[in-house]
Structure 1
Amino acid sequence: MQDKQFLIDLSNTKMPYGKFKGIDLIDLPEHYIVWYHAKGFPKGKLGLMLGLVYELKLNGLEHLVREIKRRE
């Protein structure tokens, strides 16, 4: 299932650049994700992942990705 693999990939992806380089996407500070949401997420898979992180944090569901990471 493609959605499952996307979540697995998200759980293992680190921010590739900037102030928070090397931090797991799911662990990025909420204010940074909100700023990126307002600015516009980057194109491609990273942008899709950051958009999902925004939605997960907005709805208090980031623990789901942390659980996937723990199991991987």
Structure 2
Amino acid sequence: MGRTQEGNNNAYCQDNELSWLDWNLQNSNADLLDFTRQLIHFRRRHPVFRRRRWFQGQAIHGSAVSDIGWYNSDGVK
């Protein structure tokens, strides 16, 4: 928890220090670890926070509101 992947957004296939967890850090990161545990339990108790499908940028149930929008740094969609 609370570590860097050195800019690698997909470290899944890295079998080295980049993706290994240093469990000795659990003491110094105890607050973050506890917060993460609480978030996991919260999501399990509240199914509304579990998506069944990916966002697709499409209107929600025929409305004019999209399920997600992508914007550039100027705020233009």
Normalised by the length of structure 1, the TM-score is 0.24
Normalised by the length of structure 2, the TM-score is 0.23
Task: Return the structure number with greater relative CO, CA threshold 8 A, min gap 6.
Answer: 1
Greater Cα radius of gyration, structure 1 or 2 = 2
Q: Which has the higher helix share?
A: 1
